[in-house]
Amino acid sequence: MMSLPSQLPPSPRVRALRLAAVLTALAMLTASVLGIAYALKPSAEPAPEAGFAAGSALRHGSSSAEGKSLGDTYGNGKIPLDELVRIGPGRYLAPEAAAAFTLLAAGLREAGYAVKVNSAYRSLADQEGLAKRYGLLSEGGTAAVGTSEHGLGISVDMPLSGEALRWMESHAARHGFGNTVAGEPWHWTFVGAR
Ligand SMILES: [Zn+2]
């Protein structure tokens, strides 16, 4: 760069100050770019337990490819069994819920707890049978007909010891399951992709 003869060349001290200012500006720019990149990064998933890849399994198994759940397609309690996946003797869930349940059950077993499913998908006839035994929800009983999450193939009823329940409370969500009915600690519903 040419300097006019009348200008004194900057002293070494001034040059050092300018350099420091430029470096500081660069550092701040870098920090803000990194900060933005970090903020845009998808939040870190909780570390999956050894051998599990729950997150990716849930994403790949998305039933929302066509944007409709089986419950939406067929109606509560009217899903054909051959659309469902068997998770145990007489126990069926919608495919995505079943895949997530498999990981949840493996986690429970690995933590040392027994996995028992007393109920999963319930047809309308099943729901009506329960309503006869336990009373309709709308009439003060505990059974829902036509509105049960069991009729959508996304819920399981699992008897859980106190310790197993605590495990579920801290781990089920990472497998997409939540305890969705207050006062029914056995009722766990796949909510991951809703
Ligand atoms: Zn239930």
Give the model confidence (pLDDT) of 17-74 as tens digits.
Answer: 676 666 666 666 555 555 544 444 443 333 333 233 333 333 333 444 456 899 999 9
> Sign of the CA dihedral 140, 145, 150, 152?
negative
Phi, psi angle pair for 152, to nearest 5° = -100, -5
Q: Is residue 46 part of a domain?
A: no
CA of 102 to the centre of ligand 1 (A): 18
CA of 122 to the centre of ligand 1 (A): 10
CA of 99 to the centre of ligand 1 (A): 18
pLDDT of residue 185 exceeding 80, the answer is yes
CA distance 177 to 39: 27
Q: Is residue 4 part of a domain?
A: no
Same domain, 33 and 59: no
Helix locations, the chain, DSSP H: 12-40, 54-60, 70-74, 95-110, 124-134, 162-171
Q: Is residue 166 part of a domain?
A: yes
- Confidence tier at 9 by pLDDT (50, 70, 90): low
Nearest residue to 189 via CA among 146, 156, 145, 140: 156
pLDDT of 31: 57
- Between residues 163 and 31, the one the model is more confident about: 163
- The two structure tokens encoding residue 164: 């197993």
Average pLDDT of span 2-27: 63
pLDDT of 66: 54
pLDDT one-digit tens code per residue, 90-148: 999 999 999 999 999 999 999 999 999 999 999 999 999 999 999 988 888 888 899 99
Same domain, 34 and 66: no
Ramachandran bin of 183, using left for φ above 0, alpha for ψ from -120 to 50, beta for the remaining angles:
left
Nearest residue to 53 via CA among 174, 191, 193, 194: 174
CA of 91 to the centre of ligand 1 (A): 13
Contacts of 157 (CB under 8 A, 6+ apart): 117, 118, 119, 120, 150, 184, 186, 187, 188
Tally the domains of the chain.
2
CA of 2 to the centre of ligand 1 (A): 82
CA distance 106 to 102: 6
Q: Is residue 5 part of a domain?
A: no
CA distance 54 to 14: 58
CA of 190 to the centre of ligand 1 (A): 12
Same domain, 177 and 88: yes
Q: Is residue 1 part of a domain?
A: no
Same domain, 149 and 70: yes
Same domain, 153 and 101: yes
Q: Is residue 77 part of a domain?
A: yes
**Residues at Cβ < 5 Å from ligand 1 ion:** 157, 187
Nearest residue to 124 via CA among 150, 87, 98: 150
Same domain, 137 and 86: yes
CA of 117 to the centre of ligand 1 (A): 10
Most distant CA pair in the chain, distance: 104
CA of 51 to the centre of ligand 1 (A): 29
Is residue 58 a contact partner of residue 95, using CB atoms and an 8 Å limit? no
CA of 36 to the centre of ligand 1 (A): 44
- Bridge partners of 85? 93
CA of 69 to the centre of ligand 1 (A): 19
Q: What is the pTM of this model?
A: 0.65
CA of 177 to the centre of ligand 1 (A): 13
